[in-house]
Amino acid sequence: MKADILHRLIALRQARSPCALVTRIIDGCQSLIAGGSPDGDLVLTPAHLEQIAARLAADKSGPLEADPGLFVRVYAPPSRLFVVGAVHIAQFLAPMATMAGFEVTVIDPRRAFANADRFPDVELSDEWPDEAMAKRLPDAQTAVVTLTHDPKLDDPALVVALASPAFYIGALGSRRTHAQRVERLTAEGLGEQVTRIHAPVGLDLGGRSPAEIAVSVLAQIVMVKHGHDL
């Protein structure tokens, strides 16, 4: 690998930007693709770039179908999940999402809720949700779920999430609660964005316990992540 490609690859990974390294097996010629643009010595056709984009979206490395002599190595940052509200549902959602490969952060300024006894082996933040999320910069590999039922905590987090490219935004609450939420967020100038919020959050699996709701939330996040939104 040439030094310039290596340095750009390192920079892209540090910035959590998905990219793909394409190598021609016969001679080792390479190009790095990020944002749809190739950079390197390897000339790629529009058909190549289309299939590379599909592999990036699927986070799947392997030989290129259009040209088996080209090998695509996908570098996709781990998906993240920001859970606002250290409530009972979060106690089930956090470990399940971790097992599913997400980097989980539970955010709640109420330290009686957000503590290591209730959330072992999970990153915790006792900052106000908007401050915590602004520091962590939700990106296109980030899901955000608000669970507190408290507009003072949920709404600021949703404002930050809606201003970001987060791939999933969900909020706990009934349809009536969400209608009131939409009114508040619309008053803040977010009327065109509120349709991005999945609410009531989760797939309708019929469950009502905290664990069952957590399953439905994670299932919906995974579904949206892989492009199968309802």
Whether 39 shows a pLDDT value over 80: the answer reads yes
Comparing CA positions, the residue from 62, 58, 5 lying closest to residue 34 is 5
Q: Per-residue pLDDT tens for 125-169?
A: 999 999 999 999 898 889 999 999 899 999 999 999 999 999 999
Residue type, 21: L
Question: Measured between alpha carbons, how far is 102 from 122 in angstroms, rounded to an integer?
Answer: 11
Q: Is 185 exposed, middle or buried (0-12, 13-18, 19+ CB in 10 A)?
A: buried
What pTM does this model have?
0.81
Structure tokens at 87: 């409530």
Whether 230 shows a pLDDT value over 90: the answer reads no
Give the position of tokens 């056709």: 45
Stated as kind and residue range, the H or E segment containing 65 is none
Q: Per-residue pLDDT tens for 73-118?
A: 999 888 999 999 999 999 999 999 999 999 999 999 998 999 999 9
What are the structural domains, with CATH classification, of the chain? Answer: 3-75 (no CATH), 80-225 (3.40.50.720)
